[in-house]
Structure 1
Amino acid sequence: MIVGDQGDPHVAAVLARLAPVSQSWVVNAATLAENPYVLQDACLSVRCPQEHVMVSPQTGTRGWIRRLAPAAWQRGMVVESLEAAEKTAWLSLLTAVLRTCGVEWLTGIDALVAAENKLVQHATAVRLGVPTPATLVTNDPSAVREAIGPDIVLKPLGPGHFFDQDQPYTIFTTLMRNDDVRLAALAETPFLVQTRICARLHLRVVTVGEQVWGAALDAANQPLDWRAAPIAHRSFTAAVLPAEVAHGALAVADALGLGYSSQDWALADEGAFLLDVNPAGQWLFLPQQVTVPVTAALAAWLSSGPR
């Protein structure tokens, strides 16, 4: 069972690698109603055109959650409207299936939701002793000056993108001094405030179970947030990860309950630092030395029987 969109290239890549004998079903909150279904007593029965899908604690189903709904499914939706009520009901039904029908998830829905919170990520890294930038959230600019060095970065605590009059905007990591007048805006919206890490290399680390792969991007001539440079997405090269990064990435993924994770690390003169964990992040923009084994590992896990 794959929760995602058939049009997502990551879902398509995994489907292409699944064993021919594997029965696979791709579903999300927007497509659940496309076929007749019955959910009763933790058993979901769906009559698809080519097959009858059964998901229950007795079926030994394995699953991977990529996306609960298509990216634009809730765009422009008015809070407390009929549309909002209907779509919330579909999400409630889908998440009930994810929680109650006995599927063995690579990453469960509750772990996925918790791990998306950057403060939970940071607290987990601190507890494990994995280096991460000094971090705080405050509405008091004076607290920033007292707790963080002169050079700070601000990151969104909530979604890093939004739409305004149908125009998309992305909030990238922003560098500023700790006495910047813009810090007054912290009174309006909570942001992560972190000490700046001067990276020599940006590392993208992908974990599947107990396996780990990495790719590197030279930080020279790149913006502070490499995502702001389109060419950076095509400039990563396969890398042998430092032992502390590989071990730290696997430890964080395990502590967060993530069977899959895509992590951002920074390699600086003073060491390696975990910056971000994406529990359902992309990997296909990385070099083939990473994308091929990651895709194969996901497909192999889905194809294998219950543990």
Structure 2
Amino acid sequence: MIPAQFDYVRPASLAEACRALASDEDAKVLAGGQSLLPLLRLRLAYPSALVDVARLPELAGVHDRGDHVFVGAMATHDEVLRSGVVNADCPLLSLAVATVADPAVRHRGTVGGSLAHADPAGDLPAVVLALDGVFVARSEEGEREIPVAEFFVDYWESALRPGEVLVGVKIPKLGPGWGFHYEKFHRTAQSWAIVGVAAAVRRSDGAIQEARIGLTNMGATPVRARAAEAALRGVEVGEQVRQACEEADDGTTPPADLHAQPDYRRHLARVLTHRAVLAAAGSP
């Protein structure tokens, strides 16, 4: 299909982008376009204008900020995948990014675009949730930070306000002693996750001291598997891990669609969480 008519704006600065968005409440931000363009072609989105932020230096790059890594909204998946900073200090992010679609999409798609799209079937929202990331947004009124627990509101709905641009996301460094893994079940390499699990595990003396688990496509927003996290605390790596991971689907509301029914997604969440936790804990 052919998209509906819209204006196109390419601002020269972040301030100019904020002004353009503030002047038109029906305008949308265009980043890599990998999520937005299909919606336009299917006429599921009718923006009056697209504000192209692809070349704004304020949104670019991956930066080491001491106690956290700052990933600019326009950092591509491929850039994150090749980043020494991310691989050293936030490897869970690069593990998840490596599963996104294919190389062509990873070279165009952006971290900020994926997160702002707020698709619960996307891989990155669950990762940022597990790592307790903080979003940075800018508007004509100034800059504000949004904790990840408040950022994802509903299906394809975030806490970004009209006129705001996502500048990037702060991801705290967890330090030594942590292991990471992203486990994903999908039909083909290019398809969305039927269920995905982002796991960060701190282990010492053979036991799990702390676990952080984010679930993909198990509700209207990414979900923290809090019950499983609590059940894993102090558990030795072995059969008890499987028992603790039976709590992974507690409190979730998985969707029903052509690919899977809720009970199947619940089963996958339990199985994939077990695999992800063992891998993150360093167990074969």
State TM-score, norm by structure 2. Answer: 0.26
Tell me which structure has the larger Cα radius of gyration: 1
Q: Which has the higher contact order (CA 8 A, sep 6+)?
A: 1
TM-score, normalised via structure 1 length: 0.24
